[in-house]
Structure 1
Amino acid sequence: MRPGLRDVIDAVRARERTLTVYASDASLADALRAHFASQNVRVRHEPLESGVPRVEVSERGRVRATVDASSVSDFVADDPPLKRVGEDVAYREILEAVDDATFTACDVDAMLHASREIEDRAWRADRGTLAAGFQFPAAFEAQRHTYEVLASGGLDVHVFVPGGLDDPVDEVTVHEAAARRVDPWFVLYDGGGERPQKSALLAEEGVLGQFYGVLTYDPGLVDDAFAALDLPHG
């Protein structure tokens, strides 16, 4: 049986990262624990009697990055957005190391913002395949103009809508989802032949309008998501 989108989410969930803080006290560990509370990151504190305080990121016992604790302290104090990976800062390694393990809780506005990030990336490239799932037909209708614009150039655009659409959209391939609602919410872009541009948003709705999912730029995970939808992709 072909893996589904929930299998991709479960694969991300399984990628728990551990941040181990080697420091004389637990204050930095506590701050990091609070900062990453909604993400798939475990924080540990190891007392340090001598040496330079540091933070290690590990996955299944393998160290992925080591960063001086002072730069991480600045990161927590300033509270910048998690995705400042492209900036030339010392704690960039920490963000890069946890990026493909991010499993966050967010509201509808945050989900729309993340969707827009991927749609904008695809629009600027104007090539490749963009796919999106809409939980209800009305959700697509609210975004109809956006997808008309996205499909007006070189993008191959696919949308999944429960029951399909009564009024088709030029140049958009509409897939009639069998379920009464599309779940999980997803927006996928195959990068248009550029692996660094691959991106995917996958999220399930929980309680009180919160969504739990991943915004990932891991090419393998993006390919898995496209394969789950049985869509051709680059």
Structure 2
Amino acid sequence: MDKSKLSHLLTQVQKGNCSVDEALAHLQHFPAESMTNACIDHQRSLRTGIPEVIYGASKTAEQVIDIASAMLKHNNPVLATRINQEKAEHILRVLPEFRYSNDAQMLHFRPTMFEPSKRRGTVLVICAGTSDVPVAEEASLTAHCLGNPVNRLYDVGVAGLHRLFNRQDELRSATVIIVAAGMEGALPSVVGGMVSCPVIAVPTSVGYGASFGGIAALLGMLNSCAPGVAVVNIDNGFGAACMADAINRLE
């Protein structure tokens, strides 16, 4: 339940259009609902603006179905991250209203809780190479499902930097930019030197042996010479999108 729905419920009680018992029924799992395998924070979006999200990598399909079904009963938006295709097919047989992105490895069901028109600007998601697309797509889909207008700019890494220079209008029209890159992780520094908006860098676990599973990119981004660049954890497209959403919600 978000702030607008809670405000509407309390207004209906105040006007006498909803009894206290009816209101309590709506709020019976406030602030959380305990289940066998989870404790669902139904009111997280009320506090933070971002709903609880299901991390699916270590969960069975049955656990994801149970948690998602409980969230749907409260008309909460549902996102499930790190869902492989086999698990997704199982879940979709039970919850066919969901949509699955194989690139992002995400399942989502998006009610009208978040409307893009209420947002103030565009989140631009950039990735250095095609190998970084899965992380970039996790960021793009998360930002979109949270209600942000999203543009994508893929395969514009520093090995062919002219590809990025040809897209400066898109860079400068963004409110927040997410940059996913592996190898040496240089691209966020380049972008950070070209724009005035916040840049969120996402190191990816892409690269040869000395990339150490993304640690080289992470250290490169943490040592960026460009001001205004923040860094999230390796492969954390979801976290980058949540940060972008928080920035985009500022007055």
Tell me if both proteins adopt one fold, taking TM over 0.5 as the criterion: no
- The higher relative CO (CA closer than 8 Å, separation ≥ 6) is in 1
> What TM-score does the superposition give when structure 1 sets the normalisation length?
0.29
Greater fraction of residues in strand? 1
